[in-house]
Amino acid sequence: MLVHAIPTNATYEFAAEVRAGLARLGQKELPSKYFYDDVGSALFEVICRLPEYGLTRADERLLRRHSDEIVDRLAGPVAVAELGSGSGKKTRWLLEALGRRQRTFYYPVEISRTALSMCERELGDIDSISIVGFEREYLDGLLEVAAYRQSGQHLLVLFLGSTIGNFDRPAGVKFLTQVRRILEPGDALLLGTDLEKPSAQLLQAYDDELGVTAAFNLNLLARINRELDADFDVGQFTHVAKINHEERRTEMHLQSKRQQVVSISAAEVAIEFQAGETIWTESSHKYSAAEIVLAAAHAGFRCEAQWIDEQWPFAENLLIAV
Ligand code: AVI
């Protein structure tokens, strides 16, 4: 696989975001995008197989069942860009369906080079599919992919796994609008969205019995220790999952077990935690099917079709740029 890599001052940005999130007054926060270093990505792959976390299996079931129909609804030849491909496992069905129709370029866009390599291992054997990876943030990568477009070719953008749910609702619509601006009329966006479900089911999904999600959350502190020369005592924090009913989302926090001070050398700060104080690390918004159609219209897409899983409420939404 060809990979377009960029030299970045990633550590500097990481330090700046950690400082901004932890030194702020009020609720401390860390961006959830930093979960996904090598350890975090591996833990996330395990989460996807846990009996409590049905989201990924629902996404995969829908793609397995409906890939042919999804491909049939696309106009003409397409190139595929996937934002946040992860291991690429669930994309196989779509690429196989496209490969049966035409030779297709697949452009995974990922900030993790490990995920890009996993993707190549997972999907490199599919006939008629050529993979070119972009080690980029989503929108930067999509802009470059769009520049590769050949005349008469449409783009199919994949944003699966309900990653949109990790944005606040207004930021989610803004992101869809930014994606739409890069696209041309007739291009498609396949958007995976987790739907609302009972609180008890969500709490189990985000606080599993084996503690894998807890390890995934706590790894963020261990990562800060490794990469930013910090001295978090990871054992002095607890994983907490809770439901925010008003915002219709699950939240993950890391709660300090005692009063403590942590120094983060690369960010040039020392942060004080009170006993019981939390760092908010992730929101996972849950949607109604109708709300997706409205948000899509707001962003400049019409909803061509929706497929909903019956075992675990989850929707695959095929949106067409108007
Ligand atoms: C990637 N994202 C959609 C997952 C979610 O459900 O919000 C990440 C995750 N967090 C805890 N478990 C899984």
In 3D space, the residue among 155, 171, 153, 154 whose CA is nearest the CA of residue 163 turns out to be 171
Instruction: Outline where 31-188 has alpha helix (H).
Output: 38-47, 55-72, 92-101, 113-123, 138-148, 169-182
Ligand 1 near 32 CB (within 6 A): no
CB-ligand 1 contact for 85 (6 Å cutoff): no
Is the pLDDT at 5 greater than 70, yes or no?
no
Reported pTM: 0.95
Other beta carbons less than 10 A from residue 149's beta carbon: 17
Position in ligand 1 atom list of the atom nearest CA 284: 7
Sign of the C-alpha dihedral, residues 283, 217, 177, 55? negative
Of all protein residues, the one whose alpha carbon is nearest to atom 1 of ligand 1 is 163
The CA 52 to ligand 1 mean position distance, Å, reads: 12
**Residue located nearest, by CA, to atom 5 of ligand 1:** 284
159-173 pLDDT, tens per residue?
Answer: 999 999 999 999 999
Closest CA to 88 of 46, 131, 36: 131
Minimum CA distance residue for ligand 1 atom 10: 206
pLDDT in tens, 101-152: 999 999 999 988 888 888 989 999 999 999 999 999 999 999 999 998 999 9
